[in-house]
């Protein structure tokens, strides 16, 4: 696997994660981890981070 393929695959995975966080915010889905209700503001932070990592993966994968 070349570096460009690796970067594009990781960019796609982070894009899927960002989309899932966005869907959670839009539809108000609850996320519970071992009895702890994950607050929605944490999905906002995760959306920003995953979106940035997806962008960087695709950007660097084009080189």
Residue-wise pLDDT tens digits, 17-37: 999 999 999 999 999 999 999
In the chain, which ranges are continuous DSSP H helix?
3-27, 40-61
Check residue 2 and report its DSSP letter.
-
When pLDDT is averaged across residues 38-43 and rounded to a whole number, the result is: 97
CA 51 to chain CA centroid, Å, is 6
Q: With a threshold of 0.75, does the pTM exceed it?
A: yes
The tens digit of pLDDT for each residue in 4-18 reads: 999 999 999 999 999
């Amino acid at each position: 696997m070349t570096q460009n393929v690796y970067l594009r695959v990781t960019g796609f995975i982070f894009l899927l994660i960002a989309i899932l966080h966005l869907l959670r915010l839009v539809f108000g889905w609850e996320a519970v981890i071992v009895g702890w209700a994950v607050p929605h503001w944490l999905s906002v932070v995760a959306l920003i981070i995953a979106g940035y990592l997806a962008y960087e993966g695709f950007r660097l994968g084009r080189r």
